[in-house]
Amino acid sequence: MKKEFAVIGLGRFGGSICRELSREGMQVIALDIDEQKVSEYRDIAAHTVMADSTDENVLRELGLRNIDHVIVAIGDNIQASMLTTLILKELGIKTVTVKAQNDYHEKILNRIGADHVIHPERDMGKRIAHHIISNNILDYIELSDDHSVVEVKAGRKMKNQTLIDLDIRANYGCNVVAIKRNKDVIVSPKANEKIEETDILIVIGSDKDISRFEKNLV
């Protein structure tokens, strides 16, 4: 059975989620208070609804009971975002993901039962910052407040050396969990794996350790 989703708020972020889910063949209900936004998604989403999501009756009548996951992507109107989230959780929606504008907003969303709170601008900012620090850092994913995964180009410093030569775990406290080489992915590489200049390493560790690793080897 196709999974069903609802996206509330069709700004740039919510709109992009709606497009991508629909492109992947998912059933999406797209809801916005703005008529123009709604008509923009008429040919993209399975269903479109023009309504104010802070109106409890509106959400109740939509019959969201069968929906697996609702994404609340209301932008600047923090109050509307919180009220919508609260109503969705009261209606018994299992998974509600909400876009937060700031830390204060995030704190309250967690309190009222949001299952996932996301900060696309802040998180993308961090990733881009790491990318800017070094051209060899391709991606950066935060696992928790103090642990991350980075994707780095091996480059000249690591060329032709094995993991033992570099002694990455002992020297930097980080683990190379995989090596991407052309189309192949070497998962859990052996200690004697020789690194090629064009390899991409997936490295996991604490932010402090990763930052030492980045400074010295990347």
Q: Which is nearer to Ca ion, 15 or 189 (CB)?
A: 15
Q: How far is the CB of 199 from ligand ATP (least distance, A)?
A: 13
Q: Which is nearer to Ca ion, 75 or 113 (CB)?
A: 75
Query: Could you tell me the CA-to-CA distances from 132 to 1, 125, 129, 183 in Å, in that order?
Result: 43, 10, 5, 25
Tell me the two tokens of residue 141. 């994913």
DSSP reduced 3-state for 121: helix
123 binds ligand ATP (CB under 6 A): no
What does each C-alpha distance from 201 to 2, 125, 155, 176, 208 come to in angstroms? 35, 22, 10, 7, 18
CA distance 92 to 72: 15
Phi first, then psi, for residue 212 (nearest 5°) are: -65, -40
CB of 53 to ligand ATP, least distance (A): 4
The size of the interface with ligand ATP (CB under 6 A), counted in residues, is 31
Taking the CB of residue 23, how many other CB atoms lie within 10 A of it?
10
Q: Which is nearer to ligand ATP, 2 or 216 (CB)?
A: 216
- State the DSSP code for 77: -
Residue among 24, 35, 76, 145 that touches ligand ATP (CB under 6 A): 76
Task: Report the nearest approach of ligand ATP to the CB of residue 64 (Å).
Answer: 14
Under the binding rule (CB under 6 A), the answer on residue 205 touching ligand ATP is no
> Six-digit token pair at 200?
């991409």
75 binds Ca ion (CB under 5 A): yes
Q: Which does 33 bind (CB under 5 to 8 A by kind): ligand ATP, Ca ion, none?
A: ligand ATP
- Residues 5-24 within binding reach of ligand ATP (CB under 6 A): 8-14
Q: If you compute the radius of gyration of the chain from its CA atoms, what whole number of angstroms results?
A: 22
Q: Return residues touching ligand ATP (CB under 6 A).
A: 8-14, 31-34, 37, 52-54, 73-77, 80, 163-164, 167-170, 175-176, 189, 191
Q: Return residues touching Ca ion (CB under 5 A).
A: 75
